[in-house]
Structure 1
Amino acid sequence: MIQRAGLWAGLGLFMTMRLVDAPAGLSPEGWAVAAVAVLMALWWFTEAVPLTMTALLPFLLLPLLGPAAPARSPAPIIRRSCFWCSGAIVAIAIEKAGLHRRVALAVAARGGTSPRRLVLAFMAATAIVSMIVSNTATALIMTPVALALIRARGQDDGFAPALLLGVAYAASIGGLGTLVGSPTNGIAAAMIDRTLDIRIDFVTWSKFGLPMVFLGVPAAAWLLNRALRVPHAAFDRQAVLAAIGTPGAWSPLEKRVAPLVVALILGWTVLPLIKDRIGLSALDDGMTAIAAALLLFILPGGNGRPILEWPDARGVPWDVIMMFGGGLALADAITASGLALWIGQQLSGLGTIPIWALALLLTALVILVTEFASNVATASGFLPVVAGVATATGLDPLALAMPAALAASWGFMMPAGTGPNAIAYATGQVRVGQMVRAGFLIDLLGIPLIVAVCFAVAP
């Protein structure tokens, strides 16, 4: 029903905007881009048409409508796409080797026997894995382990929903930690680069993302334990260890993948600091990720074959790669046609509001929208507008753009809101009311937390 309404509402508004004159101060080209943006926003937010197909609309409609905005070099889009695609290939190798499960079990096994501490330990383990592996895959890894522990405990109280929701929420929060932790991060960083000409590399994103993880996971665990009344009483440690299990001896594949992952992380974090000194100033995150992904298809995996073969790459979310192009093409048109500047001028009165208050309002709005729309669609739709507001008001663009980028992944109330939420709900151990109550509190927590982190980190 929502999809059909969004389909016809989008088409109706698009046609109406094409039939009426542009508002004062906005060029016909900008008005044409606005019509396409409204159509895409409604179709994205209601999922009336698959997200990837909606992302292709700029390539179909903008040339037909004739906006005068010249297409800029596609090199930044290609570079970002290669970076994220290569990062996804490395994540596939981690999953194939089982390294993610080893890390998760090692952390969870050290969580003690207090139900509340176990919730925190599982959330910490999930968040660590989710910084490299996709949010949904991380939730799929950790949920069976959590269910085994719930069965071993055998009590009907708030521990079961808190543990499962903790895994789901920590998968999303952990994904904020690094640029490769979630597809939304990559799209948001590319949007900021494209609309504000501010380069967000792996290290820059981590300066914002890692504090969000380190502060967000313990705070979310505390709220979950309180909201769902998780008991304090401890239970048998042997039962805990038996339920969690052990990862066993290191496999040959793990021994080959682990050093490569460590080298990649060092390349992302250390090379930017020393590359000028060693004569590699042209080296960037994408090149490092491509080199690591290439080695995975060359180095032996200990079974007579390379670590990865091309069929393994089917797990790369190619649809998200396509959304990069469509979203950035729309952002280009919004900026180059003057639409972003016009929107900013209409909202220029916001420049009189303290920037921290504006950031709080913007963060709250993005969190509200992302509860009902996909994270990727929310980031793609909001960030060009944020760029226009920052440009017209003269406010610090990064202090507005980064809260919006992080808030696009901070939605915890709805079972269908994210993949991890859906996985937790599908277990049958979590009621909708419990998810809404706990998720609402964590959404509220996110508004000041995101703004505080961004303002503390932003120059």
Structure 2
Amino acid sequence: MKFSSSLKFNAVAEWWDEYIAYEALKKHVYQLEKQKAGLQESYHDLEANERSALIGRDSSGADTDAFFVPLLDRELKKISVFYETEEQRLSDDITALQQEIAQHEENGPYAGHHYVDESGEDDDEDDDFELQSPTATLNQDQTQSPSRRRRRHSRSASNAPPWAGNRQPLDQIFPKLSDDEHEDIEASVASLEPNGGPSGTGVGRGSSKSPLVRARAIARTLKDSLISTTSSNLPESVWTARNNYAQDTQLLFKRKITNLYVVATSLKSYIELNYSGFRKILKKYDKVTESNLQDRYLHDVVEQAVPFQQASKDKLNTKISLLIDLYAHCVTRGDSVEARRQLKLHQREHIAWERNTVWRQMIGQARRGEDGGMIAMGGTLIVEPEKGLLNVQTPAGRIKLTSQMLYFTIAVVVFGVLLNVEVVDGTQANRCFAILVFATILWATEAIPLFVTSTLVPLLLVVLRVIRDGDRPLSAPDATKFVFSKMFSPTIMLLIGGFTIASAISKTAIDRVLITRVLSIAGERPSTVILAFMGVACFASMWISNVAAPTLCFTLVQPILRTLPPKSSFAPCLIIGIALAANIGGQSSPISSPQNLIAIGQMEPPLDWGSWFAVSLPVSAISIVLIWLLLLAAYRPARSPTGDGDITIKPIRPARERFSAKQWWVTFVCLLTIALWCVAHSIQEYIGDMGVIAIIPIVAFFSTGVLKKDDFEQFLWSVVFIAMGGVALGQGVTNSGLLNIIGDGIRHSISGMDLYPVVLLLSAIVVVISTFISHTIAAVLLVPIAQEVGKSIPGGDYSNLLIFITGLICSTGMGMPVSGFPNQTAATQVDEMGQLYLSNVDFLKVGVPASLIATTVVATVGYLLMRVIGI
């Protein structure tokens, strides 16, 4: 999480204006970065009525320090003043609290009484107890009117213990107890009665109580007796007594101490957050301006300020310890461990319920999937109503029809029709065809989430009895076992192993270190920088998924984009280049995208990694270079918007940190796993399948603490379920006989066609479909068809070749903003003014030709390489 987000999430809402203005300081850093790049921005001085720059044109380190240090000093002074004020207030409150505690201990446990007026309400308007000394209580009792004293005596009598007044014998209340047990209860009750026996003034209602009520009263009394016995070794005080006044006093001071503890810990967190803010902003400043201000300013200025001095921290920790001791003394009867536990619990509840900021609301709504219609205006969260195709008010309620509801309705209607109309021969084949069309409509329109549709597939296969054993449909239990056994295949384990490697590389920042080092040698020429970023995006997509790879690259290009002239064509060229390269990277390794794993899972025998790389790496490299040339011709990124020469790009500086032991461990495990995957066929006798090798990184990373349980929970499990649903659907199509029927039709259609015309025809179909629907879903639908087509071609079984081509071309469908995750991510990138870098025109101008180029490379170079290696 970025520090600005962390600051918003952890800050005390009421103190928000008193924290370091991190965002404002960051904007000043970016302004210095622009000026250092030669993009001087002028600002209008209202008093002098002239425009001037923030700093001089030469922007040396001393100039930037002279501008930035006063801004830091201003923030430091604000924080110091606020801290000293709050710390003094906290000290005064704790001193007053100690005096109150001492006063109540002096007054004793019987210093207060409730008084009831004529209306039955407490005399105290605050509904609180009165604190009085015994002398004051006696004097007030003597001066009260007789009627007042009678009401007070009546109130005291109503609180009399259950043994007061006439009572029934215990053998009538507990008829099933023995005589000895009756005697034990009598002795216990007698020991608790005033004057050691049952004598006392009755209230006139004891004899009317039922046996059950009297039994409960006696049980409560025995419980109180046990509690008082456990603490009998403590002297009786206002903190140990059990009367109403003492208990109210204990609750009052429990609340006071808790509130002060929350303030003290919040003040401690305030100091820690602000120190982190200074450290983060100085690190960013040094990185952008190539200065060395961080160490100097932190040690010589920040750590010398009052809030950040060690003496101040020790003083605050002493106050927190004192509050814990006071809580133990007043509430937990001297148990400091329990006091600390309860106070921390109160602190967590305060953070969870009191700091309900807009930021937390946004996070919560985003997690619930409700952020689609949210906008922020003036710090207030406004949820726009979802627009639908139909939204009318009727007497029965509001009727709203969205496009997703319409698509789902159409899918259900088509499904119902196909189930009742024989489209293909055979009952099971016809039902499977209905399921196939139903799932295809839902996948293509995303009427419901993709993984939900995939999860629905095995349910329909079992309920509709699609799975067969020969010509006989399997029973529901047998069909369930068959479908589930096929769904969790070695391919799924390979996918999870790929997620593990990607998570470990990303968490240990290996990807960022390697990428920045590669980009640091790209230089300042725009064309070279674009090619370098495309190569990095492609390589990153091979190992950390083509969802995370473009996001990482877009983060790395922000320093470059901020220093570009306005309306420069370099920015959209670079962004769409990264997206297209990430799509190409999706075909480069078996674990770079789910469609590759689906293809490998359908191959017989499965293709080893070495054979995959022998084809995919040359194909990807050629595609990247050709698309790069297309981008240069379409955008001319080196040209300045003003036409006065070429722009200069700020070079990326490599990370200075050396590889840690954890990073070396992750690198070793990843390289070992990939090497074993490459030679999987050679060691198949020992490991069985590549899916077993995927267990190595899972065990290695989670057992050594590189990855945690939370990392496992954040895997793309929706993608796993999509793949599992695709496997189930493929088994249904094959087992029901539908695939044979489709194969007969395909054989009739391609009768007399040679292999290469079939390759070209299949390539065109795959790229069109994968452009408009998810690449993974395209593979789920098209890989079984490619397999059947390969078996239908005269002269041999070319199913593996056509499956391989299908898997590669599924990643090349990138002509639309919705074509794949990289395009979707690129389409949302905005500049500092909130303007989108790309439009639909950019994707039509570049994305469609790039798709055709990449598809052609696969169908030509890729096809030749496949034939060379014997596929």
| TM-score using structure 1 length | 0.89
After TM superposition, list the pairs within 5 Å mapping 1:383-422 onto structure 2: 383-394=783-794, 396-422=798-824
Post-superposition Cα deviations, 1:317-348, rounded to whole Å, max 9, x if no partner, equal 11121222211111111112221111121122
Q: SS state of the match for residue 18, structure 1? A: helix
Q: SS state of the match for residue 417, structure 1? A: coil
After TM superposition, list the pairs within 5 Å mapping 1:417-432 onto structure 2: 417-427=819-829, 428-432=836-840
Q: SS state of the match for residue 67, structure 1? A: coil
After TM superposition, list the pairs within 5 Å mapping 1:323-334 onto structure 2: 323-334=722-733
Q: Which moved more, 1:103-112 or 1:177-186?
A: 103-112
| Structure 2 residue 629 is the aligned partner of structure 1 residue 222 | yes
Question: Counterpart amino acid of 1:392?
Answer: S
Q: Which moved more, 1:390-399 or 1:81-90?
A: 390-399
- Alignment-derived partner of residue 150 in structure 1: 561
Aligned residues: 439
| Structure 2 residue 782 is the aligned partner of structure 1 residue 372 | no
Unmatched runs of 5 consecutive residues or more in structure 1: 300-305
CA distance in 1, matches of 2:457, 2:824: 31
Question: Counterpart amino acid of 1:406?
Answer: L
Describe the shift of the 1:283–1:18 C-alpha distance in structure 2 as closer, same or farther (beyond 3 A).
closer
| Structure 2 residue 411 is the aligned partner of structure 1 residue 10 | yes
- Alignment-derived partner of residue 160 in structure 1: 571
Q: Which moved more, 1:226-235 or 1:375-384?
A: 226-235
Post-superposition Cα deviations, 1:34-70, rounded to whole Å, max 9, x if no partner, equal 1100100111111111111111223211222222424
After TM superposition, list the pairs within 5 Å mapping 1:227-376 onto structure 2: 227-231=634-638, 235-236=647-648, 240-241=650-651, 244-252=652-660, 253-270=662-679, 272-273=681-682, 275=683, 281-299=686-704, 306-348=705-747, 349-376=749-776
Question: Counterpart amino acid of 1:181?
Answer: S
Asked whether the 8 Å contact 1:345–1:389 carries over to 2, the reply is no
- Alignment-derived partner of residue 303 in structure 1: none
Offset of 1:271 from its aligned partner? 5.7
Q: Which moved more, 1:438-447 or 1:361-370?
A: 361-370
Asked whether the 8 Å contact 2:827–2:839 carries over to 1, the reply is yes
Describe the shift of the 1:68–1:131 C-alpha distance in structure 2 as closer, same or farther (beyond 3 A).
closer
After TM superposition, list the pairs within 5 Å mapping 1:172-251 onto structure 2: 172-190=583-601, 192-193=602-603, 197-231=604-638, 235-236=647-648, 240-241=650-651, 244-251=652-659
Question: Counterpart amino acid of 1:240?
Answer: K
Offset of 1:72 from its aligned partner? 7.0
Post-superposition Cα deviations, 1:345-381, rounded to whole Å, max 9, x if no partner, equal 1122313223222222221222111222111111111
CA distance in 2, matches of 1:324, 1:334: 15
Asked whether the 8 Å contact 1:402–1:454 carries over to 2, the reply is no
Q: Which moved more, 1:412-421 or 1:280-289?
A: 280-289
Offset of 1:125 from its aligned partner? 1.0
Question: Counterpart amino acid of 1:260?
Answer: V
Post-superposition Cα deviations, 1:159-208, rounded to whole Å, max 9, x if no partner, equal 11111111111111112111111122212322x23xxx331343333333
User: What percent of counterpart residues are identical?
Assistant: 24
Describe the shift of the 1:88–1:53 C-alpha distance in structure 2 as closer, same or farther (beyond 3 A).
same
CA distance in 1, matches of 2:529, 2:542: 20
Asked whether the 8 Å contact 1:371–1:411 carries over to 2, the reply is yes
Question: Counterpart amino acid of 1:360?
Answer: L
Question: Counterpart amino acid of 1:8?
Answer: T
CA distance in 2, matches of 1:106, 1:175: 22
After TM superposition, list the pairs within 5 Å mapping 1:17-56 onto structure 2: 17-23=418-424, 26-56=425-455
| TM-score using structure 2 length | 0.48
Asked whether the 8 Å contact 1:77–1:324 carries over to 2, the reply is no
Q: Which moved more, 1:282-291 or 1:315-324?
A: 282-291
Question: Counterpart amino acid of 1:257?
Answer: V
Asked whether the 8 Å contact 1:342–1:388 carries over to 2, the reply is no
Asked whether the 8 Å contact 2:610–2:679 carries over to 1, the reply is no
- Alignment-derived partner of residue 454 in structure 1: 862
Structure 1 or 2, whichever has the larger Rg, is: 2
Describe the shift of the 1:296–1:383 C-alpha distance in structure 2 as closer, same or farther (beyond 3 A).
same
Question: Counterpart amino acid of 1:373?
Answer: I
CA distance in 1, matches of 2:458, 2:487: 17
| Structure 2 residue 535 is the aligned partner of structure 1 residue 124 | yes
The answer to which structure, 1 or 2, has the higher relative contact order (CA under 8 A, 6+ apart) is 1
Asked whether the 8 Å contact 1:120–1:221 carries over to 2, the reply is yes
CA distance in 1, matches of 2:855, 2:507: 37
**Aligned equivalent of 1:440, options 848, 854, 861:** 848
Asked whether the 8 Å contact 1:390–1:397 carries over to 2, the reply is yes
CA distance in 2, matches of 1:187, 1:51: 16
| Structure 2 residue 512 is the aligned partner of structure 1 residue 112 | no
Offset of 1:217 from its aligned partner? 1.2
Unmatched runs of 5 consecutive residues or more in structure 2: 1-401, 470-481, 640-644, 830-835
Describe the shift of the 1:86–1:131 C-alpha distance in structure 2 as closer, same or farther (beyond 3 A).
same
More helix by share: 1
- Alignment-derived partner of residue 302 in structure 1: none
Offset of 1:234 from its aligned partner? 5.6
Q: SS state of the match for residue 750, structure 2? A: helix
Describe the shift of the 1:367–1:103 C-alpha distance in structure 2 as closer, same or farther (beyond 3 A).
same
CA distance in 2, matches of 1:66, 1:203: 41
Describe the shift of the 1:2–1:216 C-alpha distance in structure 2 as closer, same or farther (beyond 3 A).
farther
Describe the shift of the 1:102–1:31 C-alpha distance in structure 2 as closer, same or farther (beyond 3 A).
same
Question: Counterpart amino acid of 1:404?
Answer: T
Question: Counterpart amino acid of 1:217?
Answer: I
Post-superposition Cα deviations, 1:211-244, rounded to whole Å, max 9, x if no partner, equal 22221111111111112232366654xx622xx2
Question: Counterpart amino acid of 1:55?
Answer: S
Offset of 1:152 from its aligned partner? 2.1
- Alignment-derived partner of residue 132 in structure 2: none
Post-superposition Cα deviations, 1:124-161, rounded to whole Å, max 9, x if no partner, equal 11111111001111111110222321222325332111
Question: Counterpart amino acid of 1:175?
Answer: G
Post-superposition Cα deviations, 1:384-434, rounded to whole Å, max 9, x if no partner, equal 222222333446212322221112221222222222112212122112201
CA distance in 2, matches of 1:84, 1:56: 17
Q: Which moved more, 1:50-59 or 1:207-216?
A: 207-216
| Structure 2 residue 501 is the aligned partner of structure 1 residue 90 | yes
Describe the shift of the 1:370–1:310 C-alpha distance in structure 2 as closer, same or farther (beyond 3 A).
same
Question: Counterpart amino acid of 1:343?
Answer: I
